[in-house]
Structure 1
């Protein structure tokens, strides 16, 4: 009898512990047909690609209730490629963090999207995926008068490794986040990141401002005679949206400045203006983007039209068409992920058109 009571007590205790912890497997598989003209040497590229509407991913997240409003958690997430099954292997470079949260907010340690990018990128109507996406967070350092070849990983400031991040609670619609990514260098500070955002969300209005800086190390000049340089990339972004119910308006204003030590600076401005509206069982969206590459005195215009049709809460069909017009020395290309190995910019001053049709399933 005593043994039975002890066994029941152990089961009850373990059940209580399990009730306080949870682990969730989640993901998205997004695969579709893609076509891009004038992709390489005036040739077209077509076939299957991935992440046309949302980035395909596989992840694990968990949380443990420590009591008193304190919670511990983790998040492991890696990108998957629906078209070829991750031929180069799977990793957790999208996110790998451990977290502690409470009434004070949340602290995260590891690798993740930078706080500055996480909030202001949400104003891109195409969700930073597919050929329609706003491309302001490009690595502009590879497209400049200095012919800069940046060797720092994550030079686009989208993600950072070795980062400590803090996110505030919601104060009557106001939120904020800060992050510091360690360079972990014996000398110098190549790769170090610091940045954050402040935002206000209240009913139909949402607005956010972010700023970040990443220290860079690269080379300047022709390959044969290139010389090393040190410097930084500073990016200021303002994003806003307003929901009128029948239509939602969204905008992004951004400036990225490359400061090359002893050699001045270069600016790249990017702007987006879009509108989305419910249509049937889905949503139609239209977005215009301007990329003013002052460093090379060139511009590019992008217009994107898309429709997402929801078959259920987890499954949707989508279609996107985008047109990119490069002017002068601009050589930007549409982002059709994993569409062969020949997808490049169309050439300086050349134009490019792309189409994507696919299916997205989340779990």
Structure 2
């Protein structure tokens, strides 16, 4: 009898301990068929199977442990999945690999992650920063590169060696800051990142402002800085939601011989529920490339139909018009596209998205 009671007590204690910590496997698989005309500098068309047309395909592990007193420890490992070729290049955790502490003070994260200058203001893009319909303002506009680094973070979306802090919610107000160390570039400081955001969310209204600076190294112009300021907002009327994004990106170089190079980008959009299971969205983007005098206009129309809480089918049509020397291309994973000077592009994507 005593042994049985002891065994039950041990099981109860271990169950309580396990209830205080958890590990979750999660992910998204999104694969679709796409077509883009004028997808090459010679004007050729491309079609085929692509990935992440509606949401970025991914697989990840996240865990949390309750340390008591409102303090929690957690980790997050997340890598991109390419359903079209089964990750022929291998799986990594470059989307996010962090460990941190969270409590009444907010949250501290250490590791590779989205930077605070991107993760909030980019969320106003109706196409979720993926697929041919996305607002493509976050890019390596000036062709900068970091010697010795293969991270590909010159677009200002993620950073290695990052420390981030996010505040608690103060009646709708939140803020976040990030600092990334330049550990791979010797004495040049190229790759060092600093940025943050402030936001307000209350009922139907949401607004956020972000600023960040990335120390750069251009193959022809040398060392410099890229400063990025973004303002995003949305208002949900119930029958429809409207969004707006305004961004200014400016490059300056230490030599002073090249001057400031500016890129102003804007997006306006509206999304509305359809029939209880669907959503239609329309978004216009303008890319005003002050540095070169080029301009591009993009119009994107999309529809998502939810078959269940975890599965959806979608379709997107996007049109991009370059002028005055602009050579942008529609963003598409799996169907490589390259813009040409003053070229127009039209793209179509139809696919299935499943989350788990």
Deviations 1:290-335 (A, max 9, x none): 0000000110000000000010111101000000000021110001
The runs of at least 4 aligned residues of structure 1 exceeding 3 Å deviation read 1-9, 148-153
**2:248 is aligned with 1:255:** yes
In structure 1, runs of 5+ residues without a counterpart are 143-147, 221-227
**2:338 is aligned with 1:344:** yes
Paired position in structure 2 for 1:201: 201
Paired position in structure 2 for 1:27: 27
Deviations 1:220-267 (A, max 9, x none): 1xxxxxxx6001111000000011111110000000001111232100
Quote the Cα distance in structure 1 between the aligned partners of 2:349 and 2:265: 24
Contact 1:95–1:111 (Cα < 8 Å) also in 2: yes
Quote the Cα distance in structure 2 between the aligned partners of 1:299 and 1:141: 15
311, 321, 325: which one pairs with 2:321?
Answer: 325
Quote the Cα distance in structure 2 between the aligned partners of 1:229 and 1:36: 36
281, 289, 293: which one pairs with 2:289?
Answer: 293
Contact 1:141–1:149 (Cα < 8 Å) also in 2: no
Paired position in structure 2 for 1:182: 181
In structure 2, runs of 5+ residues without a counterpart are none
Report the 3-state secondary structure (helix = DSSP H, G, I; strand = E; otherwise coil) of the residue aligned with 2:282.
strand
When residues 107 and 25 of structure 1 are mapped into structure 2, their CA distance, relative to the original with a 3 A threshold, is same
Q: Displacement, 1:3?
A: 4.6
Paired position in structure 2 for 1:266: 261
Quote the Cα distance in structure 2 between the aligned partners of 1:216 and 1:165: 21
Contact 2:251–2:261 (Cα < 8 Å) also in 1: yes
How many aligned residue pairs are there? Answer: 348
Q: Displacement, 1:10?
A: 2.9
TM-score (norm 1): 0.93
Q: Displacement, 1:99?
A: 1.4
Q: State how 1:212-291 maps to structure 2 within 5 Å.
A: 212-220=212-220, 229-263=222-256, 264-280=259-275, 281-291=277-287
Report the 3-state secondary structure (helix = DSSP H, G, I; strand = E; otherwise coil) of the residue aligned with 1:43.
coil
Q: Displacement, 1:5?
A: 4.3
Paired position in structure 1 for 2:155: 156
Quote the Cα distance in structure 2 between the aligned partners of 1:93 and 1:73: 18
RMSD over aligned CA atoms reads 1.3
Q: Displacement, 1:15?
A: 1.4
